[in-house]
Amino acid sequence: MTDQIDYQIHGESLQYLEIDLDPDEKVIAEAGMMMYMTPGIEFETRFGDGSETGVMGKLFNAAKRAITKESLFLTHFRNRGSGREQVAFAAPYPGQINAIDLSTINNELLCQKDAFLCAARGTELSVAFSKKLGAGFFGGEGFVLERLRGDGMVFLHAGGTVVEKRLNGEKLRVDTGCLVAFESGIDYDITLSGGLKSMMFGGEGMFLTTLEGHGRVWLQSMPFARLSDRVLENVVHLKRDGE
């Protein structure tokens, strides 16, 4: 059973998340995301989400996280006080924090490996490989996904503006980097973006993510990789202009 936590999301484009914890409640988060916490909060860094049993289970989960190039560890924050305490997490770059209740989407969500921010205790995190061969060879950032399971709140961060779409048997083609998360009822694959000329000169990349089925899909308007590319281009141009 997942802890039932209260929360508030503050800010517009540089948001942070504040979570209220009752005594003994806990949240798990990616390492380095904590912004502040009140005195009653204690934290420890542990392998995985805490759902593993035995040494082998912990090592196996750590190995799976290593495949995604995520930290082998998660930070666990628990309220050890006698009253309500707060812990806050900051978004790593401009965008939006999204709160999703897993109990409303069949207790499972698939997300990009860098989208996870934090979740209530009881949420299980694992690696989800695409079933499609094309996704495995060409997916890039879309090849390895994180699977979130539970019946409580999870919090994702996405760049720019977040768009939520609901598919009712339709097909949607998106830039691979713009995909944030989708429900487990959605079929996922990587396809060629078009003909050779379009792939070489269209500027949209060689591959697109194809989503089809029934459920919700979350997209981001400004993936971090695209943002960093634009910043780097401007820095190069400024350096050239200054020479």
Task: Note whether residue 157 is domain-resident.
Answer: yes
Nearest C-alpha neighbor of 179 from the set 220, 213, 132: 220
More confident residue, 129 or 85: 85
The pLDDT, as a whole number, for residue 224 is 72
Spatial strand order in the sheet of 6-10: 6-10, 16-21, 85-90, 34-37
pLDDT for the residue numbered 102: 96
Q: Please tell me the predicted confidence (pLDDT) of residue 6.
A: 95
Q: Is the pLDDT of residue 220 over 90?
A: yes
Q: Which of 44, 93, 97 is nearest to 73 (CA)?
A: 44
CATH number at 198 reads 3.60.160.10
CA-to-CA separations, 41 to 81, 116, 127, 147, 216, in angstroms, rounded: 7, 21, 29, 27, 34
The CA R_g of the chain, rounded to the nearest whole Å, is: 19
Lowest mean pLDDT among 25-39, 126-140, 202-216: 126-140
Query: pLDDT-derived band of residue 35, with 50, 70 and 90 as boundaries?
Result: very high
Mean pLDDT of 91-104: 92
- Which tens digits make up the pLDDT trace of 130-170? 555 444 444 444 457 889 999 999 999 999 999 999 999 99
In-domain check, residue 1: no
CB 204 within 8 A of CB 177: no
CA distances from 147 to 113, 129, 135 (A): 9, 9, 16
Mean pLDDT of the chain: 81
* Residue 173, domain member (yes or no): yes
- The predicted pLDDT at position 97 comes to 95
Mean pLDDT of 5-10: 96
Beta bridge partners of 10: 16
- Whole-number pLDDT of residue 230: 58
User: 205 versus 144: which is more confidently predicted?
Assistant: 144
The domain of 150 spans: 6-242
Stretch 58-72: mean pLDDT: 60
58-80: average pLDDT: 71
- Phi/psi zone of residue 91: left (φ > 0), alpha (ψ -120 to 50 degrees), beta? beta
- pLDDT higher than threshold 80 for residue 20: yes
Overall number of domains in the chain: 1
Q: Are strands 41-47 and 153-159 parallel, antiparallel or unpaired?
A: unpaired
